[in-house]
């Protein structure tokens, strides 16, 4: 007779899974996944659903007993607990209001049938309540949060070696296909060609980064054409690999500025979760209330040009096309395209956050919001209002040979490098020789950089004058 249920939500792995530490003495365990988009504070975007599908497919191959369900999360789990006479349910802890409330309700209803609910931190290095200032309040600035708060706290748990073999299945559960996660669109099939969406794929990606990429990470991570970033973010987001495994694997390497910087990036993710845990309205609202009066512009055509990678600024367009084609965008380019949207186009960060949420395979509810508010200047530890990335100089500095740009903008391949970052400055005879007709084969700039910068600075200045 099954005695326990383990629920997979955002921890889609078997290795180093702290859920199992609560089950190691249990004789019969029903592993389940319940697809209920209303359980989450924000329904999954299209790219995330694709990643979720292949993650569940891999998990099912590794754990054939995994049972799938679709419907109300709480009702489904309570029904199964009654059906199989369950005494304990184990699930990952969640950190946003809607999920927290659902788990409270689940605990209450399980208690009524003498069943215990265990919530386990499986996705963060430190619980948000364990990294606070000396006065017990949450940090709002990253550096002290990480350097004093995180590094001054207990070390993250070591990876666990517990592996269970006492799983059983429910013959009446659904098939994975019934969850209807994959869109009927060729885009999804094209996108996954860039990824090995599996637990073993996550481990290979980590090993490759630690062996070949981390040695030049601090500086190399700014150059999108180089292989100097980890590309682990989607695996972390869905728990294909444990964040503790990543931390300890990197921390064991010889200490260097590159290792330190990589670990601090894991700390930024922790910071994002801490912010949204302690300030949950930040999911939709500006953390800095003065930005509620910011004079955003509502321009659907400019937004659409940005989304499609048709702004006329090659580094921006390359980033947006990378996003669409691969479900991913290099971190440096994320900052460039984000700055362009909210500062050059003066379009609300909500629109950028929503597009990233739908298109990114690593769309993380905390990191996505915190990063967009950082770029917009309205969040914690925000970028200064006068930091407006110039896409021309950014392209020249971080993609000097144009390798990244040309990977996603092949229509510019015959343009001399001198004009690759600002095609409109090329003489007509050079454009003709390169088979480029601005406005047709490649767009003209949709906004003037100097004018838009001045408008942005004036808009930010208006906030200072009214605050």
pLDDT in tens, 26-55: 789 999 999 999 999 889 999 999 999 999
CATH number of the domain residue 32 falls in: 3.40.50.620
**pLDDT given for residue 381 in this prediction:** 75
Residues 137 and 263 occupy one common structural domain:
yes
**pLDDT given for residue 2 in this prediction:** 64
Whether residue 128 lies inside any domain: the answer is: yes
Residues 400 and 368 occupy one common structural domain:
yes
List the one residue out of 417, 414, 448 whose CA is nearest residue 431: 414
pTM for this prediction = 0.95
Task: Report DSSP state, residue 209.
Answer: I
List the 116-120 sheet strands across, edge first: 67-70, 29-35, 4-7, 88-92, 116-120
Residues 97 and 145 occupy one common structural domain:
no
Segments in the chain below pLDDT 50: none
Q: Which of 278, 310, 329 is the last residue of a domain?
A: 278
**pLDDT given for residue 383 in this prediction:** 64
**pLDDT given for residue 461 in this prediction:** 87
CATH number of the domain residue 375 falls in: 1.10.579.10
Say how many domains are in the chain: 3
Residues 295, 154: contact at Cβ < 8 Å?
Answer: no
Q: How far is CA 7 from CA 94, 290, 361, 365, in A?
A: 12, 41, 22, 20
**pLDDT given for residue 382 in this prediction:** 67
List the one residue out of 361, 357, 353 whose CA is nearest residue 337: 353
**pLDDT given for residue 134 in this prediction:** 95
Residues 216 and 266 occupy one common structural domain:
yes
Task: Report DSSP state, residue 338.
Answer: H
Residues 222 and 326 occupy one common structural domain:
no
**pLDDT given for residue 361 in this prediction:** 96
Domain range spanning residue 438?
Answer: 289-466
Residues 32 and 117 occupy one common structural domain:
yes
Give 105's Cβ-side CA count (13 Å radius): 14
**Angle of the 199-208 helix axis to the 46-62 helix axis, nearest 10:** 100
Task: Report DSSP state, residue 291.
Answer: G
Whether residue 170 lies inside any domain: the answer is: no
Residues 75 and 41 occupy one common structural domain:
yes
Whether residue 176 lies inside any domain: the answer is: no
Q: How far is CA 202 from CA 216, 230, 284, in A?
A: 21, 10, 31
């Amino acid at each position: 007779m099954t005695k326990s249920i383990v629920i997979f939500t955002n921890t889609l792995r078997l290795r180093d899974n702290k859920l199992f530490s609560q089950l190691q003495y249990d004789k019969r365990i029903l592993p389940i996944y319940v697809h209920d988009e209303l359980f989450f504070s924000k329904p999954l975007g299209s790219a995330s659903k694709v990643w979720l599908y292949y993650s569940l497919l891999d998990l099912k191959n590794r754990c054939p007993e995994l049972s799938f369900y679709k419907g109300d999360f709480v009702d489904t789990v309570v029904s199964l607990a009654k059906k199989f006479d369950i005494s304990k349910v184990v699930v990952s802890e969640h950190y946003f209001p809607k999920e927290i409330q659902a788990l409270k309700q689940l605990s209450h209803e399980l208690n009524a049938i003498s069943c215990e609910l265990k919530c386990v931190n499986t996705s963060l290095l430190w619980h948000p309540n364990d990294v606070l200032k000396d006065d017990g309040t949450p940090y709002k600035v990253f550096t002290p949060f990480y350097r004093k708060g995180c590094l001054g706290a207990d070390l993250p748990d070591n990876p666990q070696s517990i592996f269970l073999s006492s799983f059983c299945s429910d013959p009446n559960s659904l098939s994975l296909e019934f969850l209807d996660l994959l869109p009927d669109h060729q885009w999804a099939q094209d996108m996954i060609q860039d990824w090995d969406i599996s637990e073993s794929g996550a481990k290979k990606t980590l090993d490759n980064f630690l062996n070949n990429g981390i040695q030049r990470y601090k500086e190399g991570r700014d150059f999108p054409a180089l292989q100097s970033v980890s590309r682990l973010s989607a695996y972390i987001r869905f728990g294909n690999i444990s964040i503790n495994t990543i931390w300890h694997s990197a921390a064991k390497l010889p200490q260097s500025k590159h290792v330190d910087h990589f670990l601090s990036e894991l700390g930024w993710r922790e910071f994002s979760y801490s912010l949204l845990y302690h300030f949950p309205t930040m999911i939709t609202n500006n953390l800095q209330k003065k930005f509620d009066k910011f004079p955003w512009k509502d321009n659907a055509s400019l937004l659409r040009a940005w989304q499609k990678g048709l702004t006329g600024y090659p580094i921006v367009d390359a980033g947006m096309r990378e996003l669409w084609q691969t479900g991913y965008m290099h971190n440096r380019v994320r900052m460039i395209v984000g700055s362009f949207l909210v500062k050059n186009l003066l379009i609300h960060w909500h629109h950028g956050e929503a597009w990233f949420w739908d298109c990114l395979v690593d769309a993380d509810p905390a990191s996505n919001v915190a990063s967009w508010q950082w770029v917009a200047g309205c969040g914690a530890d925000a970028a200064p209002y006068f930091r407006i990335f110039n896409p021309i100089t950014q392209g020249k500095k971080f993609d000097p040979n144009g390798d990244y740009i040309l990977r996603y903008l092949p229509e510019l391949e015959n343009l001399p490098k001198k004009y690759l970052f600002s095609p409109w400055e090329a003489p007509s005879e050079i454009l003709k020789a390169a088979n480029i007709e601005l406005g047709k084969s490649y767009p003209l700039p949709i906004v003037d950089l100097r004018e838009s910068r001045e408008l942005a600075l004036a808009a930010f200045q208006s906030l200072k004058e009214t605050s």
